[in-house]
């Protein structure tokens, strides 16, 4: 019979939050001289391979953890020297004057980075640091996914690391387990302990990296408007990197009314804009990928950040501030604070709720939660008033093409002489946190879908067809590779899918899981005349979009086994 494997700390996911936790914990353990054991599980076969982000980040936490990060070779793509916030019409772009948008959108001096490379660098720093701290055993396992949370006597005791548990070898136990994932496994902790009254809401980021003819290093744009002119919350980003590389991405909220939104297709529409065409024509696509982002903010936070035997960090906690598009430094700060609280608790041999509660107390008094609270109604402002994105933004975008946005603003005032002014005062007071309306509660994203919604169509401008990729072709640039038998998406009830397919086909549409998949996984098969849901799991890039938009809550995306999945290194 196998012996039970047990560690002091189990870090689930090779995220920036967990890697900062591991590194800072090693620093503290070196000072204390106490003996500890740490295990870190990463589901991809290499650290960083499943990590995708924008990413333009404030380096203040990086500087705190690694003051000499530049000397240590931290992978910097560029330092932002030209930050813009822009509105796109169908043909033109208008860069807002800086006095017109929040200072948080000015990214001057921030690091432009490839987060997959940055994460791999952090993992290497942990491995090197461990060599200098002989009193701590650090086991870093790649290709090991957590498939289930182990609950013993009301506490998290560890995780199951195989799809089917057959022996003690299929489990990793720990005094404390820390979850920094995007919901693959942390959701089970949240559900087990009933931590969330207000559901988390999600967006999906779809992103490509291009090699261009010109150098755009250090230039950063965040955009509103085209191609999201049908009322969906979201926007685009373009980041110039070294070696003539360019990041082009779109963040699309999954509470869209449109059941057939198709984020990957939206990204192609974004690339058809003349401004982007000028940059990428004659270039070469290098990488494609997608990942969901938690954007519920303050009111979607769990009631407790730590429970008996477990802590939630980064995306598992949901600390991304969607107003400022800042998440990386928030996740790293979670890891930094968690390391200090856990080290103190383990030295004292006291993992009580009172001691672990210091983690939440410290974060509540940090910039992480303080800024989330200040911006707590940002997303709600756009939900409360659909005219902002469904009417006013399209009018502004059209004015960018025809005259100028100020004329568009005047036209809105003439069209809605009372309503626009009232809407503006109310919405701005929510966006900037000047009004307190008490706690809010979101609907799950899929509840916003309007099955018969018809998205407006726009006349396309000229574009180079060589720059546009179909979804099946885009999958090639995400590089998914799967071992045989990786059945990592659960379909709970096949009959429910049949009914859903019939409903949407009756409206001349396909189901949201098929349309909104960022790869080419979900499909509709005809078997003996019956339209059934099928899946090409070998194409999956592990984004979880299908699960979020499923109107019947009939899908669950699990972490893939044996290091299978996409290759996001370089994204």
In a domain, 428, yes or no: yes
Q: What is the pLDDT of residues 293-333, one digit of tens each?
A: 999 999 999 999 999 999 999 999 999 999 998 999 999 99
Q: Are residues 496 and 362 in the same domain?
A: no
Backbone angles phi, psi at 132, to 5 degrees: -95, 0
Q: Give the per-residue pLDDT at 458.
A: 83
Q: Are residues 347 and 402 in the same domain?
A: no
Task: Look up the CATH number of the domain holding residue 543.
Answer: 3.30.70.20
Q: Using CA atoms in the order 320, 321, 322, 326, what is the torsion angle rounded to 10 degrees?
A: -80
Q: Are residues 423 and 365 in the same domain?
A: no
Q: Are residues 402 and 535 in the same domain?
A: no
Q: Are residues 16 and 159 in the same domain?
A: yes
Quick check: 422 pLDDT over 80?
Answer: no
Q: Are residues 179 and 312 in the same domain?
A: yes
Q: Which two tokens stand for residue 521?
A: 């996984």
Bridge partners (DSSP) listed for residue 248: 208, 238
- Per DSSP bridges, beta strands 6-12 and 36-42 are parallel
Q: Which two tokens stand for residue 376?
A: 């707590």
Q: Domain of residue 511: give its range.
A: 482-557
Residue 301: closest CA among 223, 347, 251, 368:
368
pLDDT mean over 452-462? 87
In a domain, 394, yes or no: yes
Q: Label residue 139 by pLDDT band (50, 70, 90).
A: very high
pLDDT mean over 494-508? 97
pLDDT mean over 138-146? 96
In a domain, 408, yes or no: yes
Quick check: 1 pLDDT over 50?
Answer: no
Quick check: 418 pLDDT over 70?
Answer: no
Kindly give, in sequence order, each residue whose CB lies less than 8 Å from that of residue 529, ignoring residues fewer than 6 positions away: none
Residue identified by tokens 């991304």 is 320
Number of domains the chain contains? 3
Q: Are residues 318 and 415 in the same domain?
A: no
Quick check: 82 pLDDT over 80?
Answer: yes
Q: Are residues 164 and 184 in the same domain?
A: yes
Q: What is the pLDDT of residues 190-248, one digit of tens each?
A: 999 999 999 999 999 999 999 999 999 999 999 999 999 999 999 999 999 999 999 99
The DSSP result for 386-436, as a single string, is: THIIIIIHHHHHHHHHHS-HHHHHHHHHHHSTTHHHHHHHHHHHHHTT---
Task: Look up the CATH number of the domain holding residue 185.
Answer: 3.50.50.60
In a domain, 23, yes or no: yes
Residue 201: closest CA among 258, 253, 249, 250:
253
Q: Give the per-residue pLDDT at 3.
A: 72
> Distance (Å, rounded) from C-alpha 497 to C-alpha 451?
15
Q: Are residues 39 and 135 in the same domain?
A: yes
Q: Are residues 487 and 541 in the same domain?
A: yes
Q: Radius of gyration of the chain from Cα atoms?
A: 23
Quick check: 410 pLDDT over 70?
Answer: no
Whether 372 contacts 364, CB under 8 Å: no
**41 compared with 422, residue with greater pLDDT:** 41
Q: What is the pLDDT of residues 338-391, one digit of tens each?
A: 999 999 999 999 999 999 999 999 999 999 999 999 999 999 999 999 999 998
Q: Are residues 362 and 304 in the same domain?
A: yes
Quick check: 25 pLDDT over 80?
Answer: yes
Bridge partners (DSSP) listed for residue 93: 88
In a domain, 461, yes or no: no
Among residues 355, 374, 393, the one where a domain terminates is 374
pLDDT mean over 131-151? 96
- CA 447 vs. chain centroid, Å, equals 20
In a domain, 537, yes or no: yes
In a domain, 286, yes or no: no
Q: Give the per-residue pLDDT at 470.
A: 97
- CA 445 vs. chain centroid, Å, equals 15
Whether 306 contacts 312, CB under 8 Å: yes
Q: Are residues 124 and 181 in the same domain?
A: yes
Q: Give the per-residue pLDDT at 428.
A: 86
Q: What is the pLDDT of residues 512-529, one digit of tens each?
A: 999 999 999 999 999 999
pTM of the complete model:
0.95
Q: Give the per-residue pLDDT at 362.
A: 98
Mean pLDDT (the chain) is: 94
Q: Give the per-residue pLDDT at 403.
A: 77
Quick check: 166 pLDDT over 80?
Answer: no
In a domain, 250, yes or no: no
pLDDT mean over 69-96? 96
Backbone angles phi, psi at 461, to 5 degrees: -85, 175
């Amino acid at each position: 019979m196998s012996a039970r494997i047990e560690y002091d700390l189990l870090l689930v996911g090779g995220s920036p939050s967990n890697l900062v936790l591991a590194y800072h914990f090693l620093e503290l353990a070196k000072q204390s001289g106490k003996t500890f054991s740490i295990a870190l599980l990463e589901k991809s076969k290499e650290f960083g391979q499943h990590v995708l982000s924008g990413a333009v980040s404030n380096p203040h936490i990086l500087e705190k953890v690694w003051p000499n990060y530049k000397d240590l070779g931290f992978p910097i793509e560029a330092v932002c020297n030209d930050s813009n916030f822009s509105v796109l019409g169908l043909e033109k772009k208008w860069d807002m004057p800086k006095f017109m948008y929040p200072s948080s959108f000015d990214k001057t001096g921030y690091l432009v980075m490839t987060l997959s490379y940055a994460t791999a660098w952090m993992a290497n720093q942990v491995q090197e640091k461990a060599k200098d701290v002989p009193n701590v055993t650090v086991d870093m396992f790649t290709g090991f996914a957590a498939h289930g949370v182990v609950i013993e006597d009301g506490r998290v005791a560890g995780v199951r690391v195989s799809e089917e548990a057959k022996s003690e070898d299929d489990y990793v136990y720990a005094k404390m387990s820390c979850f920094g994932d995007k919901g693959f496994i942390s959701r089970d902790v949240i559900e087990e302990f009933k931590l969330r009254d207000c559901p988390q809401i999600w967006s999906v980021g779809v992103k490509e990296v291009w090699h261009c003819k010109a150098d755009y290093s250090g230039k950063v744009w965040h955009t509103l408007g085209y191609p999201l002119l049908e009322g969906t919350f979201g926007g685009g980003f373009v980041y110039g990197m070294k070696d003539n590389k360019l990041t082009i991405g779109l963040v699309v909220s999954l509470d869209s009314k449109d059941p057939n939104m198709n984020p990957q297709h939206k990204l192609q529409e974004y690339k058809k804009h003349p401004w982007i065409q000028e940059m990428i024509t004659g270039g070469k696509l290098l990488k494609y990928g997608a990942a969901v982002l938690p954007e519920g903010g303050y009111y979607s936070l769990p009631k407790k950040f730590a429970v008996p035997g477990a802590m939630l960090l980064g995306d598992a906690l949901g600390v991304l501030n969607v107003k400022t598009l800042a998440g990386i430094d928030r996740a790293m700060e979670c890891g930094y604070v968690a390391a200090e609280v856990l080290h103190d608790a383990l030295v004292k041999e006291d993992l009580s709720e009172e001691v672990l509660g210091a983690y939440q107390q410290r974060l509540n008094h940090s910039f992480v939660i303080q800024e989330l609270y200040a911006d707590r109604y940002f997303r709600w402002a756009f939900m409360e008033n659909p005219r902002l994105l469904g009417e006013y933004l399209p009018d502004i975008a059209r004015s960018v093409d025809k005259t100028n946005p100020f004329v568009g603003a005047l036209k809105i005032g003439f069209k809605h002489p009372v309503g626009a002014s009232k809407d503006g005062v109310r919405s701005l007071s929510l966006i900037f946190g000047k009004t307190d309306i008490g706690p809010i509660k979101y609907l799950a994203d899929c509840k916003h879908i309007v099955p018969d919604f018809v998205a407006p169509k726009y006349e396309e401008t000229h574009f180079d067809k060589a720059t546009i990729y179909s979804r099946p072709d885009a999958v090639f640039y995400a590089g998914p590779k799967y071992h045989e038998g990786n059945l990592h998406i659960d379909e709970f009830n096949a009959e429910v899918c049949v009914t859903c397919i019939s409903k949407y086909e009756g409206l001349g549409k396909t189901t949201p899981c098929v349309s909104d998949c960022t790869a080419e996984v979900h499909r509709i098969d005809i078997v003996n005349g019956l339209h059934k849901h099928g899946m090409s799991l070998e194409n999956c890039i592990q984004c979880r979009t299908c699960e979020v938009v499923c109107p019947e809550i009939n899908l669950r995306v699990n972490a893939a086994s044996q290091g299978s999945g996409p290759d996001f290194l370089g994204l």
